[in-house]
Amino acid sequence: MMRTYAGHSSAAASNELYRRNLAKGQTGLSVAFDLPTQTGYDADHKLAKGEVGKVGVPIAHIGDMRRLFDGIPLAEANTSMTINAPAMWLLALYVTVAEEQAEESGRDGSTDTAEVLAKLTGTTQNDIIKEYLSRGTYIFPPGPSLRLITDMITWTVHHVPRWNPINICSYHLQEAGATPTQEVAYALCTAIAVLDAVRDSGQVEQADMAKVVARISFFVNAGVRFVEEMSKMRAFTALWDEITAERYGVTDAKARRLRYGVQVNSLGLTEAQPENNVQRIVLEMLAVSLSRGARARAIQLPAWNEALGLPRPWDQQWALRMQQVLAYETDLLEYEDIFDGSLVIESKVDEIKKGARAEIARVQEMGGAVPAVESGYMKSELVTSFADYRRGVESGERVIVGVNKFDTSEPSPLQAEGAKAIETVDAAVEKEAVLALERWRAERDDEAVATALAALKSAAGTEENLFEATLTCARAGVTTGEWSGALREVFGEYRAPTGVTASSGGGEAAADLTAVRERVRETGAELGERLRILVGKPGLDGHSNGAEQVAVRARDAGFEVIYQGIRLTPEQIVSAAVQEGVHVVGLSVLSGSHLEIVPEVVDGLVAAGAADVPVIVGGIIPPEDAKLLTDRGIARVFTPKDYELTEIMNEIVSVVRQARGLD
């Protein structure tokens, strides 16, 4: 299965992109939803400002879903949807469109509807545990979130038997700092939590647990350390077979097979010398395709320029062609497992299996994945592991070509002056989405909507499976924000532990950090108080790894750090900055919304009488946008090429001194 992860701007624009990609030989669709959709907000919500259509397609209601798949027969498609907290909602929309397509083609009646549902193939990511640990697009507390997953799995097992209702996703765990052992262990802990919940719900007979296990899929990360990554997947495969046989009594070896897809490591791609990303992507693809016994069933590759911004269609085509060359030109897929019998591989696999078993046991002793999330244990472990990785990069022990070694470069023709190196989303997209939403609400049956939402809330207060109530909402014209809002009223919202306080920042005795600590101390002495920094994540971008590492290093450098986690409005950030009396505000934005929401923080500080508090920003920010931000009053802009955190701390001290007239 060959895919590229795609979607942006609008359902119509994304539909055009999907058709073009399918015509080029792509064999499956991988739908990227925008952040408001992923976090259960409509385009007109204040938190959606600057985020609509940026990192994916906005889907607000059944009309959008119809347009997204216009001309694409869903009974013949294989669709992967990266959606977690509102996964039940998006699948309900998808199922409804499939039923409508069947009716439009002249087939109607309950028998034919069941026939269409039986043909649907694809995957919903729907792994909420990793959202609390890494990606941040959770909505509800862990308990209710696990219930939504359970209800969705049991409904699909009975009605859409070829659909993968959950994609347990270790991909983002690696991006958050997980070692291979942690990635395997925490993903399997999530699988155990989900399967235990399904088994204990009473909605599936014990005899049908094999059907449930057979529809569990995984989505993993493949980094550039080839032997380690390939050994990880062989260990993953063996442990999954062991757990499903021993814990759930599945005797069918085919049902126990680890079924996984891969996106190779996007956050491992570099802004510096981005042409090097091509060979990184190919090597990472080989790590999950060469070992036949642990081979991925589906692969989607990022584009070479994802560290710069949104890829163009040509860039996505290049990524697709990489897979096609491997599949159709080489002989790499024609043989039995070429690593069987290798002592080196066997030793590495055993090492990962041993470590993963120990970590799984540790989490189970805490009560499982949910308590380990709520206590902050898993999050702090990942933050600590990522801090270790960052130290290796900064010290040069871990080499990244073009970044911390071999960094001299000729001008790149791929980024020649005047070339449009990345795709951009028109600012008018958000305004158009809001207007379209207003039209939708004006034209639908409000009474049917109110009835459907009331039934959903009523069911949420019981142990009833919520999928049928969600289907009713989809058919009535309920919006994404309304469906999520109804469940927010019943389940509440949740703020996950940041992992920063409990993480270890030890091992830093380098002279450069010592010098920065002294500058922080001296500057604080001159000001008569300890230096304070607020690290903020405005908007809906939940990729908090960078913000967490900045917070940890700032703490190690002697700053008092205020970090309240993700999903904050500019007003909340300004309020916290003023109340805490900080000396500098650092914002992290990776979703492309920096031009819309970062200046609001500057304006808010000025309006609050705190114009002397400088604002710095870090993220995936093109050079032309960086200039616009500095023109709007941003003191410094850092991008992925600025990998030396201690040097960034030193620069922050300089920013504070300049703002306070100490230089």
Residues recognised as catalytic: 5, 171-172, 537, 541, 543
**Count of positions (residues) in the chain:** 663
Whole-angstrom distance, CA of residue 545 vs CA of residue 540: 14
DSSP string covering 267-300:
TTS-SSSGGGHHHHHHHHHHHTTS-GGG--SEEE
- Can you give the three-state secondary structure of 491-539, one letter per residue? HCCCCCCCCCCCCCCCCCCCHHHHHHHHHHHHHHHHHCCCCEEEEECEC
CA distances from 322 to 106, 278, 330, 607 (A): 40, 9, 11, 52
* Token duo for residue 627: 């200039």
Residue 78: other Cβ atoms inside 10 A: 17
The amino acid sitting at 258 is L
CB 169 within 8 A of CB 206: no
Q: Which of 316, 325, 200, 218 is nearest to 261 (CA)?
A: 218
For tokens 């002056």, the residue is: 417
- Cβ neighbors of 532 (< 8 A, separation 6 or more) are 559, 560, 561, 562, 580, 581, 582, 583, 584
Q: What is the CA radius of gyration of the chain?
A: 25
| Strand 29-32, strand 5-6: pairing | parallel
CA distance 643 to 599: 24
- Is residue 655 helix, strand or coil? helix
Q: What angle do CA 257, 261, 265 make, to 5 degrees?
A: 135
Per-position b or e across 610-641, b if 16+ CB within 10 A of its CB: eeebbbbbbbbbbeebbebbeeebbbbbbbbe
User: Torsion-angle region of residue 619: left (phi > 0), alpha (psi -120 to 50) or beta?
Assistant: left
> Distance between CA 152 and CA 374 in Å, rounded?
23
Burial track 311-324 (b if 16+ CB lie within 10 A, e otherwise): bbbebbbbbbebbe
User: Distance between CA 308 and CA 161 in Å, rounded?
Assistant: 40
CA distance 622 to 421: 10
CA distances from 330 to 253, 277, 295, 327 (A): 30, 21, 16, 6
Buried-exposed string 520-539: b where 16+ CB fall within 10 A, e elsewhere? beebbeeeeeebbbbbbbbb
What amino acid occupies position 76?
E
The alpha carbon of 484 is separated from its chain's Cα centroid by a whole number of angstroms, namely 19
Residue type at position 550: V
**CB of 268 within 8 A of CB of 280?**
yes
Among residues 121, 10, 137, the alpha carbon closest in space to that of 63 is found at 10
Cα–Cα distance between 653 and 636 in angstroms, integer? 12
Q: How far apart are CA 343 and CA 345, in angstroms?
A: 6
